[in-house]
Amino acid sequence: MNFTPPVLVVGAGPTGLVAALTLLQNGIPVRIIDKEPNPNIGQRGPAIWPRSLDLFSFLNVPEINDLGKPFPVIRSYQPGTLELMKEYPMVPHIEPTPAIPFYVAKFIGQQLLDVILRRHLEKFSCSVEMDTELRSFEQSDESVTAVLEKNGMLETFNTKWLIGADGAKGIVRKQLGLTFLGETRDDALMITGDIRLTCVGLDRSYWHQFGYFKERGLSIRPTDEVGEDGWQFLIFGGDVDLTKAAQSEELVLEIITSLIPTEITFTKVIWMSEFRTNIRMVNKFSEGRVFVAGGIVHSPTGGQGLNSGVQDVFNLGWKLALVEKGLADKSLLETYNAERLPVISEMLEMTTTILNQTLKTGNISTTRSPILFMLGINCRFSDIVLDEFVIPGKPVNAYWRESDVKTLFGLYRPWYHTVLVFAPSHTDATLTLGALEAYDKSIVRSVVIPAFIFIR
Ligand SMILES: Cc1cc2nc3c(=O)[nH]c(=O)nc-3n(C[C@H](O)[C@H](O)[C@H](O)COP(=O)(O)OP(=O)(O)OC[C@H]3O[C@@H](n4cnc5c(N)ncnc54)[C@H](O)[C@@H]3O)c2cc1C
């Protein structure tokens, strides 16, 4: 490679791909690598919450919302029968409004989401270098030197910044010596996977749950992404040897057969894996020129992991672009830690509460709170935000806000900053607009908002 991109992104899951896309849209070239020879498969974490749909729309990736499917209604059954016990929505349906244009959470498998993001990278002539593993790195005040292994050969790569989006077991967090405190929950072991099967009498427009979370339970959610008879399954419960079952398709099919009392035709297990719930987070997200994104593991009950990872890295991406272009001081990057750590810590508390409730009651049949939509996440407490609405002495919660106003979404893009000038009329804004003339128009744009709009 003759030209050296200033950023190395390690890991091409959703977090790494969003990191690369944000930087590329801001005109910063990146090199993105993944140690696996082929892209990851599987539905894995498919819930995309409204805040992330906002983010993907902002990033010009409308396909996530367009191809994603609204959450199906859940049906649970009397044990050992197909007699309906309960029918309920996983999340309440709330109609979109101008202030919240994406109010309907969507399901899209991680595999498809990754494909879509990779296509967007290609528009910038960027593709993921597969089979390329970060082995170690060193940093100085000016640069980062990474040792990569590709096809059995070692390569030394010098760059200016490194983003570790290398997942829960990643090397970047470990090599930075960050703590990863928390707990491993052996009481919340499960198997997840994608399967193709047909069940007589089971309606594909619903998400079905059988048995009990604590003892022996099964959830199957229809997904056409893996075939017209495709489902994502989750098996849980202390009465099943899940570690053993995760190694054997035969045992998994046996468990499914024992829990769905109807005629089943199996076509194929596409992918499956054991999932051990860990609840941990890093103590900080960066050290010098190296950053981690998605530096958490948590219970999947709240479906916040992928969503948090992509939101982390977007927060970092635009800041890194400004610093790399020489338009902002390096200290701006410190706000990445300050703004994201409280969000992640609150999220972890919330998903753990949901997990504990699920374990206590033994059933997963509860409608989730809209707090999971992540629309309340804010940075009002950040050092770079001047918030004159804050009541002194009253802490600002990082995960929830009460209200929003009109739609401004169409004005924003990740690669420029929008200055909102509130004034009674355009003429009254002349002085401010004149001062803004000094800035590069490709980076700073302004909009005059007539003040009367906000008079209630
Ligand atoms: C059952 C289940 C349900 C879930 N449900 C949801 C949900 O509904 N919503 C949600 O938001 N989240 C959910 N999650 C969590 C979500 O799947 C993860 O948070 C998400 O995969 C994290 O994405 P990522 O890009 O950060 O990491 P990953 O997807 O783990 O990607 C990391 C990548 O880094 C690569 N890599 C690792 N080390 C190196 C190295 N040294 N060099 C190069 N490459 C490397 C790996 O090969 C991998 O491709 C769920 C998880 C499970 C298991």
* Cα–Cα distance, 244 to 239 (Å, whole number): 12
The response to whether residue 339 sits with its C-beta less than 6 Å from ligand 1 reads: no
**C-beta of 209 in contact with ligand 1 (< 6 A):** no
Pairing of strands 230-236, 84-88: unpaired
* pLDDT in the model for residue 365: 60
Helix (H, G, I), strand (E, B) or coil at 270: strand
Q: Which atom of ligand 1 is nearest to the CA of 47?
A: 8
* Contacts with 145 (C-beta within 8 Å, 6 or more apart), sequence order: 137, 138, 139, 156, 157, 158
Cα of 306 vs centre of ligand 1, distance in Å, is: 7
Phi, psi of 114 (to 5 degrees): -65, -40
Distance from CA of residue 343 to its chain's centroid? 13
Ligand 1 near 44 CB (within 6 A): yes
Residue 56 main-chain phi, psi, to 5 deg: -65, -35
7-69+99-181+279-373 CATH: 3.50.50.60
Helices (H), 266-403: 305-324, 334-361
CA angle, 309 then 313 then 314, to 5°: 115
Residue 216 CB–ligand 1 contact under 6 Å: no
Structure token pair of residue 257: 């057969």
CATH code for the structural domain at 186-274 = 3.30.9.10
What does the alpha-carbon distance between residue 32 and residue 143 come to, in Å, rounded to a whole number? Answer: 17
Task: Answer whether 115's CB lies under 8 Å from 131's CB.
Answer: no
Ligand 1 atom closest to residue 135's alpha carbon, by position in its atom list: 41
| Integer Cα distance of 104 and 48 in angstroms | 9
Domain ranges of the chain: 7-69+99-181+279-373, 186-274, 416-454
Task: Identify the pLDDT of residue 378.
Answer: 87
- Residue 414's nearest CA partner among 386, 445, 383 is 445
Residues in contact with 376: Cβ distance below 8 Å, sequence separation at least 6, in sequence order: 397, 399, 400, 401
> Is any atom of ligand 1 closer than 6 Å to the C-beta of 35?
yes
Ligand 1 atom index nearest CA of 308: 11
Alpha carbon distance 27, 364 (integer Å): 45
pLDDT at 455: 41
List per-residue pLDDT tens for the chain, 456 residues long: 567 999 999 999 999 999 999 999 999 999 999 999 999 999 999 999 999 999 999 999 999 999 999 999 999 999 889 999 999 998 888 899 888 899 999 999 999 999 999 999 999 999 999 999 999 999 999 999 999 999 899 999 999 999 999 998 899 999 999 988 887 777 778 999 999 999 999 999 999 999 987 888 999 999 999 999 999 999 988 888 889 999 999 999 999 999 999 999 999 999 999 988 888 888 899 999 999 998 677 777 778 889 999 999 999 999 999 999 999 999 999 999 999 999 888 888 888 888 888 777 766 666 778 888 989 898 888 988 887 766 666 667 776 644 445 577 878 889 899 998 888 888 888 999 999 999 988 889 898 887 655 443
Q: Which helix (H) or strand (E) holds 253?
A: helix 249-259
Ligand 1 in reach of 222 Cβ (< 6 A): no
